[in-house]
Structure 1
């Protein structure tokens, strides 16, 4: 567990409190700013990650992002917004944000994206060390290949969604994700359909990877256990 420093800039007190609690559970140090002016004053001591709302009183998120890039060009930034999603997404990416989340979103979705971003930016380990050994399966997230170590020459034949699900749940083995969080990460936030799609993919993964400990949390979602 890495002790990352995160600056969360969000003027909705209830939302910032929830997001802060979720990130602190990961062992991260989270400082909350409820306005853009105070956030701008903090850019001289950059964190590992900014989570930045666009709609802020006074100085908006775009101005804060500009200040962040002028002071410390490489620090990752996740934009969040409840406004025009397409316009904000384009403007944010053009100005240098690394990711974008449209409100409303699940806290788990922010955590998933933050972990991916932090790992990509700060994890200096080799691709080989990123491989995951789990129940005699070797999972290579970079290459998107899973092999059964009883037959290592033949990668498992998983569909895109099956692979996405396994990689998502093995990012943090033992952590439960709701069906809603899985849908948003694997199918996308614009998915229209039943959550039963998750159950169907889980069933196929269990058939193709019979030794994987893919546990059902009834009424909630799924998690993968190490044993």
Structure 2
């Protein structure tokens, strides 16, 4: 199944487009804020559909970061602004297609299907191979991003985490072995519009350690944290 990430800040249009795309049998994750979408870049869907004008982080910045993470990952831009200028800038940044608002949702579906077929081919196996499965194995824990659940395979049970605890765990799992500074964690998990103390990271780490006692999450004093696989 193809995974598509849609980023559109207008609520009604977001819901309509997501519904049309899901009706094609695709798995769709819809975001209404650029900052939230930025956190999902590392999970690499098969396709991004980006509005350009977004709160927080705009589509131009998102595509730069998407292409930096995976240069060949396809992107469709949508915009209600100056169509010619946005089309040119989008192409320069690496977009694969462009739709100017207003457009029919069915047109987006058709363009999406054609782009997926062109990039990945018709076979389901090719599409699955193009994007890694969003599952992290940090023994004894199995972290399933799409289902948003954590399994203790040793005890054969599911762990109870809050939404933010899960987001933090996924972030560390995606960067296992790397030394992560508190500010990096704060920006990625809480977003760059968060203005509180970075000590909120320490509090959440303590809760995560308490709930997942076998998680080897090291403290590097004066700097941040590192998850050891």
* Alignment TM class, shorter chain as reference: 0.5 to 0.7
Corresponding residue for residue 40 of structure 1: 38
Q: 1:28 aligns with which of 22, 26, 29?
A: 26
Corresponding residue for residue 7 of structure 1: 5
Corresponding residue for residue 128 of structure 2: none
Corresponding residue for residue 143 of structure 2: none
Q: 1:83 aligns with which of 81, 84, 109?
A: 81
Corresponding residue for residue 117 of structure 2: 119
Corresponding residue for residue 16 of structure 1: 14
CA distance in 2 between partners of 1:45 and 1:58 (Å) = 20
Corresponding residue for residue 109 of structure 1: 107
- In the TM superposition, residue 58 of structure 1 has moved relative to its aligned partner by 1.7
Corresponding residue for residue 96 of structure 1: 94
CA distance in 1 between partners of 2:47 and 2:31 (Å) = 14
Deviations 1:31-61 (A, max 9, x none): 0111111111111001011000000012100
Equivalent residues of 1:43, 1:72 under 8 A apart: no
CA distance in 2 between partners of 1:34 and 1:48 (Å) = 19
Q: 2:54 aligns with which of 48, 53, 56?
A: 56
RMSD (CA atoms): 1.0
> Which structure's relative contact order is higher, taking Cα pairs within 8 Å and 6+ residues apart?
2
Deviations 1:154-206 (A, max 9, x none): xxxxxxxxxxxxxxxxxxxxxxxxxxxxxxxxxxxxxxxxxxxxxxxxxxxxx
Aligned residue for 2:30, secondary structure, equals: strand
Aligned residue for 2:43, secondary structure, equals: coil
| Structure 1 runs (4+) greater than 3 angstroms displaced | none
Alignment TM-score, normalising by the size of structure 2: 0.53
Corresponding residue for residue 66 of structure 1: 64
Deviations 1:115-147 (A, max 9, x none): 11000001166xxxxxxxxxxxxxxxxxxxxxx
